[in-house]
Amino acid sequence: MYSRDEEMDIENWVIRPLRHDDYESICELSKSIWEGNDYLPEVFHQWVDSPGLFLCIEDISTHQVIATGKYSYLEDGSGILEGLRVHENFRGQHLSWQICKELFKKAIEDRKKGRVSQIVNCTHVTNEASLHISTSVGFTIKKKFLILELQQEYNHDKVLNIESWQPSFEEFMQQPYFSSTQGLLAQNFVVQGMNLALFQAMQKTATFAKVNGCPGFYDNHHGWYNVALDPTPASIYDWLLYANKQPGVMDCLAFVLPQPAQIEGLKKLPVIPCTNYEPDLLYLTMTE
């Protein structure tokens, strides 16, 4: 855990649940995150109304939201900590820790009562504050995914053969992707175990197809993402290309569990990793 000297004095700040009328403040906070492409404003109103706990720290003098954090329930029975944000002018003051303490209380209470099966967290490898807090309270890294995007400057003139595909849950789970991930699905920056409830939820929002013979889908979950369910370097590229060509889809990413041979193949294709082909999406679970 953090030591006492790392805790801040919040005399001029208050921790409270977020409200719909905090939206403008959230947009201001998010401007400096992911180069202005943070998903938080998009999901904000949904999160305010959803179960769990959505908290902020408010600067009392300005009534400005300067930090946020969300505890949510996933379809696989997990409780997840997400949406941890700190305004760029207030970083380095352990605001994240103050939010997380309150979220941890709720999550641990839920686990003791059996409302959630486990407590999980997903973070980017460059988010040192989030990673430090998580490991300090007992989270351990279980999986590392590689984030890929399409190289926009490249002339993507490859011909794609698209077939309709409406899989049953059983057929879906038999795909090679789930063998490599041990049943986990990376939905953008949320990772959870694949089950029937999640599949049924995805059927309402995702588009399933076969691209050059490879089954997969694209969906919007805190941003657009796609999954090639028979993941080879070529099929990963094909699915990135297909998804990013669809009307209304912007900056659709792929999250893959990298294998050495896969990495060498991907390096030859017009795709770009967020890091130098080092896995960068971390999936963590809290130990007992």
The verdict on 173 and 155 lying in the same domain is yes
Q: Does the residue 227 lie in any domain?
A: yes
For the chain, what is the domain count? 2
Q: Which of 84, 100, 135 is the endpoint of a domain? A: 135
* Distance, CA of 75 to CA of 198 (rounded, Å): 5
Shared domain check, 95 and 193 = no
Q: Are residues 46 and 161 in the same domain?
A: no
Number of H helices, E strands in the chain: 9, 15
Q: What is the CATH number of the domain that holds 103?
A: 3.40.630.30
Q: Which pLDDT belongs to residue 10?
A: 59
Same domain, 156 and 238: yes
Q: How far is CA 117 from CA 1, 76, 192, 251, 285, in A?
A: 23, 8, 12, 33, 11
One domain, residues 84 and 161: no
**Sign, CA torsion 195/197/199/205:** negative
* In-domain check, residue 237: yes
Residue 140 lies in a domain: no
> Is residue 266 a part of any domain in this protein?
yes
76 shares its domain with 168 = no
Q: Do 173 and 260 belong to one domain?
A: yes
Distance, CA of 193 to CA of 100 (rounded, Å):
23
HEC-encoded secondary structure of 152-186: CCCCCCCCCCEEECCCCHHHHHCCHHHHHHCCEEE
Strand-pairing partners, residue 148, are 254, 273
Render pLDDT for 241-256 as a digit per residue (tens, 0 to 9): 999 999 999 899 999 9
Q: pTM of the entire structure?
A: 0.89
Contact, 219 vs 201, CB < 8 A?
A: no
Whether 167 and 109 share a structural domain: no
Closest CA to 125 of 189, 192, 54, 80: 189
Residues 125 and 164 in one domain: no
Residue ranges for the chain with pLDDT beneath 50: 1-9
Residue 217: predicted pLDDT: 98
* Per-residue pLDDT at 3: 32
Domain residue limits at 61: 4-135
Is 194:228 a contact under the CB 8 Å cutoff? no
Same domain (yes/no): 277, 151: yes
Judgement on whether residues 156 and 272 belong to the same structural domain of the protein: yes
- In this prediction, residue 8 carries a pLDDT of 44
User: What backbone phi and psi angles, to 5 degrees, belong to 87?
Assistant: -60, 140
**Residue 131 near residue 144, CB atoms below 8 Å:** no
Whether 69 maps to a domain, the answer reads yes
Q: How far is CA 193 from the centre of its chain?
A: 14
CA within 13 Å, CB half, 21: 2
Is 1 in contact with 136 (CB distance < 8 Å)? yes
> For residue 9, is it within any domain?
yes
Question: Are residues 117 and 191 located together in one domain of the fold?
Answer: no
Is 288 a domain residue? Answer: no
The single residue listed with the structure tokens 């855990």 is 1
State which of 90, 114, 135 marks the end of a domain. 135
The CATH number linked to 219 is 3.40.630
